[in-house]
Amino acid sequence: MTSFGPRYLTIVLSLFLVAGCKGSEASKNEAASNKAGSQAASATAKDDDKSTVPGTVDPDAVAALARMSAYLTSLKTAQIKSNGSLDVVTQDGQRIQMDGVTNYKLRKPAGFVIDYDSDLKKRRFYYDGKQFTVYAPSTGFYSTVPAPATNKDTLKEIYEKRGIKLPLEDLFRWSDPNGKRDDALKSAYQVGTATIDGVPTDHYAFREANTDWEVWIQQGAQPLPRKLVIVDQTDAAHPTYIARLDWKVNPALAASDFTFAPNADAKRIPMATYIASGESK
């Protein structure tokens, strides 16, 4: 059984984490009013739907991503709860859907805690600005290594040295002034509008070489991503990742929120070093 790659988890969070290293303008305060209730309205396609024209990239759709990025990079702290469904594909091509919940605490320029909980796996990742820790609560095993001084550098180092790719790393280029993510788009357009968990949003669809993805962006002064859908086009079964995101912007977070404190039964083990194919030990 093969799974849809972990890099697709929570596609936009790196916009927040990396931006602290670059700096950003302050955002406008307060959001548009939220509608009460727990309903999700179906989006209605626009009459001038550009999806039927191959290679069409609507500048307004790209601008919507830029607005979302600018707002996320303006945040100092954030808490996010992601309810996600991830497809795995059996050897005979059947898609099986697995659910999980990921909770995030994020701080710029240095600090994050990621708590992933599903029936298949439970993992917690801590970074306090000095150390990075991986903890498996089901077994009590944990591993801690020194880490760089920023979120961006820590994510880069643990991937290159440890082979760990956290659910934070897609869309780096949207927040990176030197990035060219929009160059990879084959199509981009607004599908319509939708109400996601009581919040009015604008629904956008994008296509890259191997991936189709959609994002529902909150309307008003807080353009937060509220829902994500990513489809892997490299697999004939088209496995899909779906996430609904609940946000708390600029919450008060203490230094202790990002510090791993093992209990008496926790067992420390070494963190493996990643060796790429063809490299010598």
The whole-angstrom separation of Cα 140 and Cα 114 is: 17
Q: Is a pLDDT exceeding 90 seen at residue 47?
A: no
What pLDDT shows up at residue 214? 95
pLDDT of 169 higher than 80: no
Higher pLDDT, 45 or 37: 45
Q: CA-CA distance, 224 to 72, in Å (whole number)?
A: 7
Higher pLDDT, 171 or 277: 277
Bridge-based pairing state of the strands 211-218 and 225-232? antiparallel
Which DSSP string do the residues of 178-219 spell out, in sequence order?
T--GGGG-SEEEEEEEEEETTEEEEEEEEE-SSEEEEEEEE-
Q: What is the residue whose two structure tokens read 């944990």? A: 142
What's the fold here for domain 2-25+73-186+217-259? outer membrane lipoprotein receptor (LolB), chain A (2.50.20)
Strands 199-207 and 211-218: antiparallel
Question: Does 104 score more than 60 pLDDT?
Answer: yes
Percent of the chain with pLDDT over 70: 73
